[in-house]
C-alpha cells in the first residue's frame, strides 16, 4: 500500500544530513564529553554546541548569544512566559495573547492566572487573523508581555507579527512569538518581525525531537526557568542535549539554503490539494486565511461527518493526517481554534488537517484526491446528519 | 610518544553505549512519528516510548504509570521541587535538603526561598553523610518535602536514603531523591529506598544527553513544571524526545542486567587506582565515605597542589575537580567545605570517576603520570 505522510505540522522526519550530523555525538568513540567539562572531551563538545548555536542564529538573523537551547517548543514557550513575567512582576502583571495559541502558551497562561497574573485572550476573525489594533487597545500600563503565534498550527493562518511589533514599539512591552510552525518553513527574521522573544522546535523542521530554542533579544529582562548549573549563560541549567543541538544546527543550516525551494514546492502542492478537494467534494470549507497561510497547510471542515472517522479511514489507506493538533488528538473536544474562528461545534468536529512536507509529491496529492472523496462519500452515506439536511 | 586520551570523568557524563545507539537509530530515521498522532506512524513512535517506560519501571521496581520522561536530571529535579511546593503550599512551606546537593536541587530551593518557602540545608559529617536523626529533628508541622540525593556526584558518598524514607513516611512527608549518580552503579529500587519521587539523568548511565526520568509514586500529586498539551498523562507537556527515550530505555535494561558485573569491575579498578596512588604520593586525603561510596568514584585532595592548574597540564587525561556543571571557577568545592575539608585542601581535590570502558592499563598510566606530576609540583614549591 502507498504510504503518504501528510502530518508535517505534527512532526517531520529528520533529514538524513541531520542524522548524519548527530552521529558523531552519539558515538562512544567520537564526541561524548559534557560541554561544561574543562578537559578536551568537554571542550570538543562545547565547540560543537557553539558552532550549532551560530547556525541557529544565522537562520533567524540573531546574534548567537541571543539563542538559548531548550528541550523543545513547549519548554521555550513556558520559559518565555515565566521568564518575562517573573522578571518584571514588581511593576507589571498582565499578558496579552490570543484564543488560538497552542496549548504550550494557553496552559502556562492559565497557570500564571492562578498565580495572580492577568491574561487577555484576544479574539481572531473568521480567517484566524489577530487585529493589531485590538492588541494595541488591550495594552495597559501593567502589560508586561504580548505573546502571539507566528502561524497557527491547525489552520495555518500567518499572523501580522511585524505590524503588531510596530504598534508595540516604545510601549515598554515585551513581544514574544511562538514560531514553532514557521522557523525553517517560511522566512523568519527576528529583526524584520520586531520580536523580543521567539520559540522554535527542531522536530517541526526536519531536526530531532527533544531540541528547541528560545531567541531572547539582547537586553530582555528574563529569569531562568530551568534552574540548575550555569549552562546557557545561566539562563537554562541542565547538561546540553549535544546530539539534539547538533541535529538542530544542521537543520537550520539546510533550511536557510533550502527555504525558497521548500516554499515553492509546498505552495504548489498545497494549492493543487486544496483546489482539488474544494472542487471534488461538496459541502467542504477551507479553514484559515485563503492567502496568508502556511505553504504546507490545508485544513478543511467536511460537513456531516466526524474528523476522527476520516482520519481512521485515511490511515487504513496509508494516509497519515490529523484532526486539530497532534497534541490534543486523543481528546474529543472540538478544536479551540475552530471555535475561535466561529465554526459551530459540529463543523469543528468535522475538520481534517493535511500538512505537507518535503517528501510529498504530486502523485501523493493525486492519491489523496482519489482516496479522500471516496471516504467522505462512504462516511456521509452512513451519517444521520446528511439525511437531516 | 603520543598517548590516547583517557577518560576518567564518568560522573560528568558517559558515552552512549553501542547497543543503546543501535536501538535509537530507527527512531531517528524510520519511526519519526509524533507519539500523540493517532495514525500508524504516530503509533509506532508511541510503542517505542512505552517499551522504554516499561524498561525503566523494571529497573526501578515500579509501575509504568509512575514514570514520566523529562529532558534530563535537572528538569526532573525542578519538577519535583517546584511541583510539590506549588501543590502543597497551602499545607506548609518548609523543605528539608542537604548542603551537598547538586545545583539542580540547590537552585530551585533558593528560588523557592525567594517565593516565601523556608529551606533547611542539613549539614553532613566529615564523610559527606547526612544523619537521619538530623532529618527527624528538623521536621516541623510545616514540612512538605524532604529531598536528599542518593549519592553525591563529587565524593560519591551514598546517603542513608531508606532510613530517611522511613522517617518521611512516618511523618507523612513527601520524600524525593536525586538519583542521577546511582542508576546502574548501585541498586535503585524505589520501594527499598522508600522514596515518593526519584530523578534520573540518561547521560549518566550510557544513555543520551537531553533525556531523563522522574519517578512519581502512585498518588503523589504534582503541579507540572512545563505546561501545555496532555503528554505524559498531563504531567509533562512537550513532544516526546522519542529516540532518546528509546535509548534511555535500553540503557536502563542494561543497567539492571549488568549491575553486579559493572559494580565489581569499576570497584576493582578504583581500588587499584587508590592503592597505586597512595603507594607513590604522600600527603593526600580521601574525600567521601571509605565504604559507603559509589563503586566508581574516588575523590582525593593533594596537599599543596592546585588541582585545577594540575589538570590543565594533563591534556590527555579527562578528570574533574568538582562537578562539571560548575567547572570554570576557582572556588573550593561547596561539597568539600560542607564536609569540613580545609579550603586549601579542597582546592587540591581531584575527582576520578570510572566507567565501564576503563582498563587496567589506563589505571597504570594515570598512576604513573599523576604521581610524577604531583611530586614535581611539590618539589618546585619547596
Give the per-residue pLDDT at A332: 64
Last residue of one domain, picked from the residues B257, B283, B303: B257
Judged by DSSP in three states, A302 sits in strand
A16-255, CATH topology level? 3.40.640
Give yes or no for residue A351 having a pLDDT over 60: yes
Q: Where are the domains of chain A?
A: 4-11+259-388, 16-255
Give yes or no for residue A324 having a pLDDT over 90: no
B149 and B235 co-located in one domain: yes
Chain A / chain B CB contacts < 8 angstroms: 277
In this prediction, the residues of chain B whose per-residue pLDDT falls under 50 are 1-2
CATH number at residue B181: 3.40.640.10
3-state helix, strand, coil in chain B (%, to 5): 45, 15, 40
Contacts of A46 in chain B (CB under 8 A): none
Give the per-residue pLDDT at B41: 96
Give the per-residue pLDDT at B55: 98
Give the per-residue pLDDT at A292: 98
Give the per-residue pLDDT at B196: 98
Confirm whether residue A116 is marked as ligand binding.
Answer: no
Judged by DSSP in three states, A97 sits in strand
B225 and B344 co-located in one domain: no
Give the per-residue pLDDT at A73: 98
Give the per-residue pLDDT at A347: 85
Cα of B136 to nearest chain A Cα, Å: 27
| B358: β partners | none
Contacts of B228 in chain A (CB under 8 A): 74, 77-78, 102-104, 107-108, 327
C-alpha cell at B357: 570502558
> At A356, which helix (H) or strand (E)?
none
* Rounded-to-integer distance, Cα A28 and Cα A26, Å: 7
Last residue of one domain, picked from the residues B257, B282, B309: B257
Q: Do B210 and A244 touch (CB under 8 A)?
A: yes
B96 and B240 co-located in one domain: yes
Q: State the catalytic residue, choosing from B3, B25, B64, B325.
A: B325
* Rounded-to-integer distance, Cα A73 and Cα A203, Å: 9
B236 and B278 co-located in one domain: no
Q: How many other CB atoms sit within 10 Å of the CB of residue A12? A: 27
State which residues form the domain around B68.
Answer: 18-257
Query: Looking at residues A228-234, what average pLDDT do you find?
Result: 92
Query: Looking at residues A358-371, what average pLDDT do you find?
Result: 98
CATH number at residue B286: 3.90.1150.10
Give the per-residue pLDDT at B323: 56
The alpha carbon of residue A176 and the mean position of all alpha carbons in its chain are separated, in whole angstroms, by: 13
pLDDT grade for A331, boundaries at 50, 70 and 90: low
pLDDT grade for A270, boundaries at 50, 70 and 90: very high
For residue B48, being part of any structural domain is answered with yes
B164 and B296 co-located in one domain: no
Give the per-residue pLDDT at B316: 85
Per the structure, the count of domains in chain B is 2
B239 and B306 co-located in one domain: no
For residue B306, being part of any structural domain is answered with yes
A4-11+259-388, CATH topology level? 3.90.1150
* Rounded-to-integer distance, Cα B315 and Cα A273, Å: 60
Task: Summarize pLDDT for A24-66 with one digit per residue, the tens.
Answer: 999 988 999 999 998 999 999 999 999 999 999 999 999 999 9
Phi, psi angle pair for A35, to nearest 5°: -55, -20
Contacts of B209 in chain A (CB under 8 A): 34, 239-244
Q: Which residue of A has its CA nearest to B316?
A: A40
Residue B158 contacts by C-beta under 8 Å, 6 or more apart in sequence?
A: B150, B151, B182, B186, B289, B292, B293, B294
* ipTM greater than 0.90: yes
Give the per-residue pLDDT at B53: 98
B142 and B267 co-located in one domain: no
Amino acid at each position: 500500500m502507498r504510504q503518504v505522510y501528510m502530518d508535517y505540522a505534527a512532526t517531520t522526519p529528520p533529514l538524513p544530513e541531520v542524522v548524519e550530523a548527530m552521529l558523531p555525538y552519539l558515538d562512544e568513540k567520537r564526541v561524548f564529553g559534557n560541554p561544561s567539562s574543562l578537559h578536551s572531551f568537554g571542550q570538543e563538545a562545547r565547540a560543537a554546541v557553539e558552532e550549532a548555536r551560530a547556525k541557529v542564529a544565522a537562520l533567524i538573523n540573531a546574534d548567537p548569544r541571543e539563542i538559548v537551547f531548550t528541550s523543545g517548543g513547549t519548554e521555550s514557550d513556558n520559559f518565555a512566559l515565566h521568564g518575562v513575567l517573573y522578571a518584571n512582576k514588581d511593576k507589571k502583571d498582565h499578558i496579552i495573547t490570543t484564543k488560538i495559541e497552542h496549548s504550550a502558551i494557553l496552559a502556562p497562561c492559565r497557570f500564571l492566572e492562578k498565580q495572580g497574573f492577568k491574561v487577555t485572550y484576544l479574539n481572531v476573525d473568521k480567517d484566524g487573523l489577530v487585529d493589531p489594533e485590538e492588541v494595541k487597545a488591550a495594552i495597559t500600563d501593567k502589560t508586561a508581555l504580548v505573546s502571539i503565534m507566528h502561524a497557527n498550527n491547525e489552520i495555518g493562518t500567518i499572523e501580522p507579527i511585524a505590524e503588531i511589533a510596530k504598534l508595540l514599539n516604545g510601549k515598554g512591552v515585551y513581544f514574544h512569538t511562538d514560531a514553532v510552525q514557521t522557523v525553517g518553513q517560511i522566512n523568519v527574521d527576528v529583526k524584520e518581525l520586531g520580536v523580543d522573544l521567539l520559540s522554535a522546535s527542531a522536530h517541526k523542521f526536519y531536526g530531532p525531537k527533544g531540541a528547541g530554542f528560545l531567541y531572547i533579544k539582547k537586553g530582555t529582562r528574563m529569569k531562568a526557568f530551568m534552574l540548575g548549573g550555569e549552562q546557557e549563560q545561566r539562563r537554562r541549567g541542565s547538561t546540553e542535549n549535544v546530539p539534539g543541538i547538533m541535529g538542530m544546527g544542521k537543520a537550520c543550516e539546510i533550511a536557510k539554503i533550502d527555504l525558497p525551494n521548500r516554499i515553492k514546492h509546498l505552495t504548489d502542492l498545497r494549492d493543487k490539494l486544496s483546489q482539488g478537494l474544494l472542487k471534488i467534494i461538496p459541502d467542504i470549507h477551507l479553514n484559515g486565511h485563503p492567502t496568508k497561510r502556511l505553504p504546507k497547510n490545508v485544513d478543511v471542515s467536511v460537513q456531516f461527518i466526524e474528523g476522527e472517522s476520516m482520519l481512521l479511514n485515511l490511515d487504513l489507506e496509508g494516509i497519515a493526517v490529523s484532526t486539530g493538533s497532534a497534541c490534543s488528538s486523543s481528546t474529543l473536544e472540538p478544536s479551540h481554534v475552530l471555535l475561535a474562528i466561529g465554526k459551530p461545534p459540529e463543523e469543528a468536529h468535522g475538520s481534517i488537517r493535511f500538512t505537507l512536507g518535503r517528501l510529498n509529491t504530486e502523485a501523493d496529492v493525486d492519491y489523496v484526491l482519489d482516496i479522500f472523496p471516496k471516504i467522505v462519500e462512504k462516511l456521509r452515506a452512513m451519517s444521520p446528519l446528511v439525511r437531516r439536511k | 610518544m603520543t598517548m590516547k586520551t583517557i577518560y576518567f570523568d564518568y560522573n560528568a557524563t558517559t558515552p552512549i553505549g553501542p547497543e543503546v545507539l543501535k536501538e535509537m537509530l530507527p527512531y531517528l530515521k524510520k519511526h519519526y512519528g509524533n507519539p500523540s498522532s493517532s495514525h500508524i506512524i504516530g503509533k509506532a513512535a508511541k510503542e517505542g516510548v512505552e517499551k522504554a517506560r516499561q524498561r525503566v519501571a523494571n529497573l526501578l521496581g515500579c509501575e509504568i504509570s509512575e514514570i514520566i520522561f523529562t529532558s534530563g536530571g535537572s528538569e526532573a529535579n525542578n519538577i519535583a521541587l517546584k511541583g510539590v511546593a506549588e501543590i502543597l503550599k497551602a499545607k506548609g512551606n518548609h523543605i528539608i535538603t542537604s548542603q551537598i546537593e547538586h545545583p539542580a536541587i540547590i537552585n530551585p530551593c533558593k528560588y523557592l526561598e525567594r517565593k516565601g518557602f523556608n529551606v533547611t540545608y542539613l549539614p553532613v559529617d566529615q564523610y559527606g553523610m547526612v544523619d537521619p536523626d538530623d532529618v527527624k529533628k528538623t521536621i516541623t508541622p510545616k514540612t512538605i518535602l524532604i529531598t536528599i540525593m542518593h549519592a553525591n556526584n563529587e565524593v560519591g558518598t551514598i546517603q542513608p536514603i531508606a532510613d530517611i524514607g522511613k522517617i518521611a513516611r512516618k511523618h507523612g512527608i513527601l520524600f524525593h531523591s536525586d538519583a542521577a549518580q546511582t542508576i546502574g552503579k548501585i541498586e535503585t529500587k524505589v520501594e527499598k529506598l522508600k522514596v515518593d519521587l526519584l530523578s534520573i539523568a540518561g547521560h549518566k548511565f550510557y544513555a543520551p544527553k537531553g533525556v531523563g526520568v522522574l519517578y512519581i509514586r502512585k498518588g503523589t500529586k504534582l503541579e507540572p513544571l512545563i505546561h501545555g498539551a496532555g503528554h505524559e498523562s498531563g504531567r509533562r507537556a512537550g513532544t516526546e524526545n522519542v529516540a532518546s527515550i528509546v535509548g534511555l530505555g535500553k540503557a536502563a535494561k542494561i543497567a539492571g542486567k549488568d549491575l553486579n558485573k559493572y559494580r565489581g569491575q569499576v570497584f576493582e579498578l578504583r581500588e587499584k587506582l587508590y592503592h597505586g596512588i597512595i603507594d607513590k604520593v604522600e600527603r593526600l586525603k580521601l574525600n567521601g565515605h571509605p565504604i559507603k561510596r559509589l563503586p566508581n568514584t574516588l575523590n582525593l585532595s593533594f596537599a599543596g597542589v592546585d588541582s585545577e592548574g594540575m589538570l590543565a597540564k594533563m591534556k590527555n587525561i579527562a578528570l574533574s575537580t568538582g562537578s562539571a556543571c560548575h567547572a570554570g571557577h576557582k572556588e573550593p568545592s561547596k561539597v568539600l567545605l560542607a564536609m569540613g575539608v580545609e579550603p586549601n585542601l579542597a582546592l587540591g581535590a581531584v575527582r576520578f570517576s570510572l566507567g565501564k570502558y576503563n582498563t587496567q592499563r589506563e589505571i597504570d598510566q594515570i598512576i604513573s603520570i599523576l604521581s610524577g606530576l604531583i611530586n614535581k609540583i611539590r618539589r618546585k614549591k619547596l
